[in-house]
Each structure stands twice: as structure tokens, then as C-alpha cells.
């Protein structure tokens, strides 16, 4: 069984993803937006969505007293 915090975070993520989907629809249907700007806006949305998800998942870890798990493994920059 999932904790109420996890359920709340998952619900928040679903809401945020719906909002971002609506932004994408507006970007894709507005003829005044150039293709280059469209690509840039979509890239920005992707970045912000990932950042928001990481923050929300991190809040679960902090509230449960554990360290938050990163979504992707850290990069080894020494290579």
C-alpha cells in the first residue's frame, strides 16, 4: 500500500503533466510561433517537467526521513 504522501505526489505529477500537455497543444497550434521557437519551447517544457518531478519525488524522501533517490544516476565527469 502506498503512503498518502506518495499518492498525493503522484496526483500532483499527473496534474502537472496535463498542464504541460495543454501548453504543448497551444505551442503546436499557434501558427505565429516559428518552428525553431517551437522546438526551443518544447525543450524548455521537457526540462522543467523533469525538474518538477525530481523535486516532488525528492519531497517524499525528505518527508519520510530518507535521502531522495535521483531519477537518473549521477554522471562521472572525471572520464
C-alpha to C-alpha distances, 75 to 28, 30, 39, 72, nearest whole angstrom: 33, 38, 26, 9
pTM for the model: 0.64
Q: What is the pLDDT of residue 67?
A: 47
Please, which pLDDT band fits residue 75 given cuts at 50, 70 and 90?
low
pLDDT in tens, 5-58: 888 888 888 999 999 999 999 999 999 999 999 999 999 999 999 998 888 888
Angle at 29 between CA 44 and CA 38, to 5 degrees: 30
- Ordered by start, the domain boundaries in the chain are 4-62
b/e 41-52 (16+ beta carbons within 10 angstroms → b): beeebeeebeee
Amino acid at each position: 500500500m502506498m503512503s498518502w504522501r506518495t499518492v498525493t505526489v503522484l496526483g500532483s505529477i499527473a496534474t502537472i503533466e496535463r498542464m504541460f500537455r495543454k501548453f504543448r497543444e497551444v505551442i503546436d497550434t499557434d501558427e505565429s510561433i516559428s518552428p525553431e521557437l517551437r522546438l526551443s519551447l518544447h525543450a524548455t517544457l521537457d526540462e522543467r517537467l523533469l525538474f518538477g518531478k525530481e523535486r516532488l519525488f525528492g519531497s517524499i524522501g525528505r518527508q519520510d526521513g530518507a535521502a531522495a533517490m535521483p531519477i537518473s544516476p549521477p554522471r562521472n565527469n572525471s572520464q
